[in-house]
Structure 1
Amino acid sequence: MKITSIVAIYALVWVMTAFVMLPFGVKTHDEAGIPKVPGQADSAPANFQPGRHALRATIIAAFLTALYIANYTYGWVGADTINMFEDLLAEPS
């Protein structure tokens, strides 16, 4: 696998990981006991830390990308392994 493919896969996995992680660990001002600013949405996070969020996404995406590349190299799970419709497509005997 070329390095450009690995970088592209890592970038895709990083973005997906970052978006999936957004709702975890977030507290609203009501949950944190902090007064709201007038006009603020009730669902606005109290103390969003984008640096910490990016670091977590980076670590998780690196692990998932390494796992994907290892599977690509060693062929642990392939399309034939996850064929759920094999019985439906088989000819009756």
Structure 2
Amino acid sequence: MKWTSALAIYTLFWAFSAFFVLPFHGRRTEDDGVPLVKGQEPGAPARFRPRRILVQMTIVATIGFVIFYIGYAQGWADPDVLSGRA
């Protein structure tokens, strides 16, 4: 696998990891007892921590990519078999 392909696949893993990481974040504003601002969504997090979210996304994406790459290197995910050419 070329390094550019690996980078593209890792980037996809990283972007999709947001769908796994974000639902587990923070207490809602209404659970914290903080008064809502006019127009604020009651389910919005009380404290938004983007750096923490990005670190967790990177960890999840790295674990997923390592599992994928091991499968690719071992031949478990052969592109010819998956496309039906072999």
Quickly name the TM-score band, shorter chain normalised: 0.7 to 0.9
The runs of at least 4 consecutive aligned structure 1 residues that moved more than 3 Å come to 76-80
Q: Which runs of 5+ in 2 are unaligned?
A: 82-86
Query: Structure 1 residue 36: deviation in Å?
Result: 1.6
TM-score of the pair, normalised by structure 1:
0.75
Identity %: 39
Q: Which runs of 5+ in 1 are unaligned?
A: 81-93
- What corresponds to 1:53 in structure 2? 53
**Contact 2:32–2:46 (CA under 8 A) maintained in structure 1:** yes
In the TM superposition, 1:1-93 aligns within 5 A as 1-76=1-76
Query: Structure 1 residue 78: deviation in Å?
Result: 6.2
- Higher Cα Rg, which structure: 1
Query: Structure 1 residue 32: deviation in Å?
Result: 1.6
- Size of the aligned set, in residue pairs, is 80
Structure (1 or 2) with the greater helix fraction: 2
TM-score of the pair, normalised by structure 2:
0.80
In 2, distance between residues paired with 1:17 and 1:51? Answer: 15
